Amino acid sequence: MSEGRNRLANETSPYLLQHAHNPVDWYPWGKEALTRAVKEDKPILLSIGYSACHWCHVMARESFEDDETAALMNGEFVNIKVDREERPDLDKIYQLAHQLLAQRPGGWPLTVFLTPQQLPFFAGTYFPAAHGDNMPSFREVLQNIAAAYREQGEAIAEQNQALLEAMENTVPQTDDAVEMGPSPLDASRREMETQFDSRFGGFGQAPKFPHPTRIERLLRHWQHTRELGHEDKRALELALASLHAMASGGIFDQIGGGFCRYSTDDAWRVPHFEKMLYDNGQLLGLYSEAWLAMSDPVFARIVHETAGWLMREMQGPEGGYYSAQGADSEGKEGRFYVWSPQQVEALLGDDETRVIRLHYGFDHEPNFQAHWYPHIYQSLEEIAEALEMPPRQVRECLDSGRERLRQARELRPRPATDTKVITAWNGLMIKGMATAGRIFEREDYIDSAQRAVDFIRQHLWQRGRLLSVYSNGQARQPAYLDDYALLLDALLSLLQARWRREDCNFAIDLAETLLAQFEDIRGGFFYTAHDHEPLIHRPKPTLDEAIPSANGAAAIALQRLGHLLGEQRYLEAAERTLRASWTPMSHLADQHSALLTALEEWLYPPRTIIIRAPGRELHQWHESANRHYAPRQFVYAIDSSEKELPGQLAHKDTGETGACAWICEGGHHLTPFSTRDELQSHLESETES
């Protein structure tokens, strides 16, 4: 180890590199650290975080950069630092351990003390440097844990055994006798009603997260009840209220676009300022689908401003999407995003100032550390009336004033961008960008998604297997279930926006590897591959977290690919996943939205439309089939010149110049439509009915 540097200096993770100059003798997770712990019979201090995590930075400044604290850590423990974005397998295992040991949810930084055999016996999150607020200081924790390990070995061993049994009991197994029906779909709808914030929109209380999978479930539920003839308008109201509240709130960056991770208050006004790729990928697609359903211009604005920010700031020159932007700049949270009255007045003209002040609440008391952080207080219509100004002039003043603020903000020291490319999160963004591109007919959005796919294929697909992370020019870590499942789902969305045979082939390769390397013969999929490093637990996750559950995403994607190609193996694997997940899905329906989508498409098989036509005519057919919100309809427009297509697509051939559309509904093929008017008339009659 070089003077002033620890072993993390040899890593590529931006988060680990942030700790490379700590006086703590950090190890990355690996054989060297684990062997030393066994050899010296020392407990392991495992610290898990990520580069954009505000409280991770706080604990680092207070404790890991403190010489006295570091000396205590180095003397009593083998210290391991993990980037949860590089090793989500470890994060899932030890977050579950925290939940079981502490009887409350975890978070980051996650602080876990392990035996040399990697078994956790005490867990917490952030510990302050000084004792207070009923929390011990971190040094007190270190001293108490070191003493407990030396003196309470038998009790720790008994607890370890009970913990392993409890963790194993969380792994669901197939019940072949179960009769699967729509009851979890209905239960989810009821549960979301009880959790809905009728005053401010969204679910629960601060800290308030966007929960895109829940809002998507409400929209799909509303559409399904319309199709059945008993429209659930209240489900639509919950979804729209939540979407509008977030769109006007501070969780959305009103100046530069993009969503922050969560709101610190119930009314969505002041966020925790870090921006995560996974949130924005999901919300981009969700607001696009909501616009297709409602034609609300607010939703279109959110889509275009979010997509603009993503392409401008979060997509690397080679095509991969970066993982996050931090909350802190110049050592302070949110400093990049907030304004003083003097700054606003110095930048804007008189009319711009009047409009901006009313629109963003800058005429109210400062809302963040004696500064203003913008969220929408008054609509443009209200401002036009209050200022006796033509609506068009109000809009022009807002647009020009906001652009001045954005340009001025660009000159400030920026929060750090974590340029790590994570395969699973790129899958979410590829899907969001492709969905927005298809719905709004934006070729630049589709191009952006395609560049990311090409990056992954070039750098993260090696010898028939995915890797999970690309950072500092290196691809690392064997991919996890969500890498495969979310990328497969993304490719199917991209194929609906723009067909490319190589993307279809890639999707098939991913599906085959998914089945070969991750499937549990009892049903469902393990989070890690069969040849992955052995760990103390092998999860089979079903719950949605910040991203859709990996088993839910796998079941959705395999069903959709199975219907597209007529491949029964994919459909059967999806059904086995649903059967394995039936018990947790039934007991906690609102927390299994991804699996509920897979269940809905198993109970009510989707409509798959294959269009074959040449050139410009293909675009016209494609546009006709995509005019309405139909979440269980999937349209693939394939140029008639394409040959040697896989599966049942091989039979959808019109020759060089013909045009035709085939509709498959739940395995039943309808008579082909030979004119665009016939197809459009059929789809509109289905929509009206």
Give the pLDDT confidence of 290-346 residue by residue, as tens digits: 999 999 999 999 999 999 999 999 999 999 999 999 999 998 999 999 999 889 989
Nearest Cα neighbor of 212 from 597, 492, 485 is 597
Nearest Cα neighbor of 556 from 630, 504, 606, 520 is 606
Average pLDDT, the chain: 94
Nearest Cα neighbor of 483 from 557, 424, 432 is 424
- pLDDT given for residue 682 in this prediction: 86
Give the pLDDT confidence of 633-643 residue by residue, as tens digits: 999 999 998 88
Average pLDDT, integer, range 559-568: 96
- pLDDT given for residue 2 in this prediction: 44
- pLDDT given for residue 420 in this prediction: 94
CB of 638 closer than 8 Å to CB of 610: yes
Of residues 127 and 52, more confidently modeled: 127
Of residues 355 and 666, more confidently modeled: 355
DSSP state of 232: -
- pLDDT given for residue 1 in this prediction: 44
Domains and CATH numbers, the chain: 7-168 (3.40.30.10), 184-329+418-603 (1.50.10.10), 335-414 (1.10.10), 607-688 (no CATH)
- pLDDT given for residue 656 in this prediction: 55
Give the pLDDT confidence of 539-554 residue by residue, as tens digits: 999 999 999 999 999 9
pLDDT at residue 49 greater than cutoff 80: yes
pLDDT at residue 278 greater than cutoff 90: yes
CB of 311 closer than 8 Å to CB of 452: no
Average pLDDT, integer, range 239-265: 97
Where b means 16+ CB within 10 Å and e means fewer, 56-95 reads bbbbbebbbebeebbebbbebbbbbbbbbbbbbbbbbbbb
Q: How far apart are CA 138 and CA 126, in angstroms?
A: 9
pLDDT at residue 666 greater than cutoff 80: no
Q: Helix 501-518 to helix 481-497 angle, to the nearest 10 degrees? A: 160
Q: How far apart are CA 141 and CA 388, in angstroms?
A: 63
- pLDDT given for residue 107 in this prediction: 92
CB of 549 closer than 8 Å to CB of 213: no
Give the pLDDT confidence of 82-128 residue by residue, as tens digits: 999 999 999 999 999 999 999 999 999 999 999 999 999 999 999 99
* Torsion angle defined by CA atoms of residues 170, 175, 180 and 182, in that order, rounded to the nearest 10 degrees: -10
How is residue 427 written in tokens?
């899958």
pTM: 0.94
Average pLDDT, integer, range 134-154: 94
Q: How far apart are CA 592 and CA 534, in angstroms?
A: 27
